[in-house]
Amino acid sequence: MDFPSHRVLSTLNAWHFDAEPTKEVLPSRATRTPTGGHQPAGERRGASFVRRHNLPSQGSTAPAEAHMSDAQHSAVIGFYETHPINEDEILVKLKARGIDIDTLTEADLKDFDQDHYGGVEAVDALAAGAKISHEKHVLDVCSGMGGPARWLAYKYNCRVTGLDLTRSRVEGAKRLTECVKLSRLVEFFEGDAMSMPFSDSTFDAVISQEAWCHIPDKATLLAECSRVLQPKDANAVTAIVPVGTLP
C-alpha cells in the first residue's frame, strides 16, 4: 500500500477518566502493527459518533466553539462518500459468496464490514481494554459502516451507539444492522466528535478505530469523550499516526 507521509501504526490505548476530565490514568498500553483483517487504503474513517435510545439530548453540554472548518468537514465527507468499502460493495461481496441477505447474521457480515486493520480481533482487543461486557452501553466514535458496533453487540450482547460525520455511512450502517437483526442493541447517529450530541456521563465505554487522524482538535475530542463517559470508565482507541515518510 502507498502511504507517502505516514506509517500506519495501530496503537491500542486503554485509559480511565477520573471525575475531572483533565485527570487521566493510563493502566495499560500495547503497541501493535496491523496484521490480517481488512486493511484501509490510506488514512480512513470519517469523524463520527453515536448514541442510543434516550440519546442524543437537546441539553448537551458540548463546547459550542469546537467544530471542524467547512473545508475540513467537506474533505472528510467527500473521502467517505467515495470510499471503496461501502454498503453497495458489501452487499455485492455477500452475494458473490452465496450468502442469503434474508438470513444474514453478523457472523457472516463480519468478514466484509470491518473498515479497519485487524478485523474483529482488533475489536475484541478494544473490548478487553475498555472492559466491555453485556451490561455496558458503548459509544463508537467515528463508527463508519458500523462493523465494530455490530460485532460488539453480537458478541458481548451490549448496547452500542455509533456516531459518524458522514450521513451516507450512518444510513448504510443502519440498514446493515437491520439486516442482521441487531437494531434492538445498536443505533447510529450523524454528528461531530468535537461537539457530541450526548448528555454528560451517558456511556460506560468509548471506542474508536483509525479515525482520530481526521479530527483536528484532539484535546477537545478527548474532553468530549471524558464528558460523555461515566466517571472512571474506559476509552479504548486505535489510531493512525504520522511517523515520517516511508521509503
Q: Could you tell me the three cell numbers for 31?
A: 503497541
Q: What is the pLDDT of residue 83?
A: 66
Q: What is the pLDDT of residue 158?
A: 98
Angle at 109 between CA 105 and CA 112, to 5 degrees: 175
> pLDDT of the chain along its 247 residues, tens only?
332 222 223 334 444 433 333 222 222 223 232 223 333 333 333 332 222 333 444 334 444 445 667 777 777 676 667 666 789 899 999 999 999 999 999 999 999 998 778 899 999 999 998 999 999 999 999 999 999 999 999 999 999 999 999 999 999 999 999 999 999 999 999 999 999 999 999 999 999 988 888 888 889 999 999 999 998 766 677 666 566 654 4
Please give the sequence-ordered ranges of beta strands (E in DSSP) within 81-202, or none if there are none.
137-141, 159-164, 186-190
Instruction: Output the CA torsion sign for 113, 150, 218, 216.
Output: positive
CA-atom Rg of the chain in angstroms: 17
Q: How far apart are CA 153 and CA 178, in angstroms?
A: 13
* Greatest Cα pair distance in the chain: 52
Angle at 17 between CA 13 and CA 22, to 5 degrees: 105
Contacts 24+ apart (CB under 8 A), 34-37: 34/8, 34/9, 34/10, 34/117, 34/118, 35/117, 35/118, 36/118, 36/119, 36/121, 37/114, 37/116, 37/117, 37/118, 37/119, 37/120, 37/121, 37/122
Q: How far apart are CA 12 and CA 14, in angstroms?
A: 7
The values of phi and psi at residue 151, to 5°, are -65, -40
| Residue 215 near residue 193 (C-beta atoms within 8 A) | yes
Q: Could you tell me the three cell numbers for 167?
A: 450521513
Please give the sequence-ordered ranges of beta strands (E in DSSP) within 39-192, or none if there are none.
137-141, 159-164, 186-190
